Structure 1
Amino acid sequence: MDVVALIGRILFVVLFLGSGFAHLTQTQAMAGYASSKGVPAAKLATQASGVMIIIGAVMLLLGVWADLGALLLVVFLFPTAVLMHAFWKETDAQAKQLEMIQFQKDTALGGAALLIFALVVKLGDGLGLTVTGPLF
């Protein structure tokens, strides 16, 4: 089961690593989108969230205080779902559908990150192939 847990962590964080690096390498484009959604200090928010995503993903991947890493992803995902994918504000049916899908993706990933947090806290080193135990 240790290997299964490691494979699950790897598969889970791949999305966040790619997204985090995109936040840092495509900052202008992503900040422009964030600004269009009303995010204040969009460039700084894009860079800060990119760093937070990468740190959380690496912590979870390596099993270094994986509980804290999972919480960092939660702190990114739920506000992002509400601020960036407010489907209830859309009037165009196609735009509304696309935003709803993104909202649901972010909330589902946030739920998965919360579950990972709970499992790491509950099982600690028993979750398998981690560098440290849980922080909390």
Structure 2
Amino acid sequence: MFESALADVAFLGARLIFGGILAFMGVNNLVDAESMIGYAEFKGLPAPRLLVPLSGGTLIFGGVSVVLGVVPALGAGALAVFLLASALTMHDFWSLEGEEAQNELNHFLKNVFGAGGALAFLAVANATWPYALNVTAL
């Protein structure tokens, strides 16, 4: 995919960091599901007992997909949609004040730049990735 071995290794590093952290976040969502459900209820999310495990699963699936290069278009696309939706529905900094607003702004921005990273992986999903399984269909 790239013209130098260093670029291949850097791309692998980017996949490991990006996908690994998101998969880890998904595991944490599932391990701490009850508090995540409580937070989702507090935010007024519909069906939090369904959506919290679904969000954790999406983070795990998308993260592992990017790390391994298995259906990366599906994984990266799912991550981009989830992260943007989560930013807008869960991190409403514009309706808060003070420290709470700053905390939600930080989470909002984290999700938005994560979505940007997911879109970058989506843009190259059809290329052959170095050090990847390169499975594009199940």
TM-score normalised by the chain length of structure 1: 0.89
Q: Which residue of 2 aligns with 1:71?
A: 77
- Offset from partner CA, 1:45-93 (integer Å, 9 cap, x none): 1001111111111111101121211111112100100011011111x21
Q: Which residue of 2 aligns with 1:94?
A: 99
Q: How far did 1:119 drift? A: 2.0
Q: Secondary structure at the match of 2:125?
A: helix
Instruction: Name the count of aligned residue pairs.
Output: 131
Instruction: Output the CA distance in 1 between the equivalents of 2:13 and 2:22.
Output: 15
Which has more helix, going by share of residues? 1
- Offset from partner CA, 1:74-129 (integer Å, 9 cap, x none): 12100100011011111x211111111111111011011101110223xx10x312
Q: Secondary structure at the match of 1:129?
A: coil
Q: How far did 1:133 drift? A: 5.2
User: Unaligned 5+ residue runs, structure 2?
Assistant: 1-6
Matched, 1:80 2:86: yes
Q: Which residue of 2 aligns with 1:27?
A: 33
Instruction: Output the CA distance in 2 between the equivalents of 1:98 and 1:28.
Output: 21
Q: Which residue of 1 aligns with 2:57?
A: 51
Instruction: Output the CA distance in 1 between the equivalents of 2:116 and 2:136.
Output: 19
- Offset from partner CA, 1:14-73 (integer Å, 9 cap, x none): 221121111211111001001100111112110011111111111111011212111111
TM-score normalised by the chain length of structure 2: 0.88
8 Å contact from structure 2 (residues 36, 52) kept in 1: yes
Query: Aligned letter for 1:16?
Result: L
Instruction: Output the CA distance in 2 between the equivalents of 1:112 and 1:103.
Output: 14
User: Unaligned 5+ residue runs, structure 1?
Assistant: none
Question: Identity of aligned pairs, percent?
Answer: 34
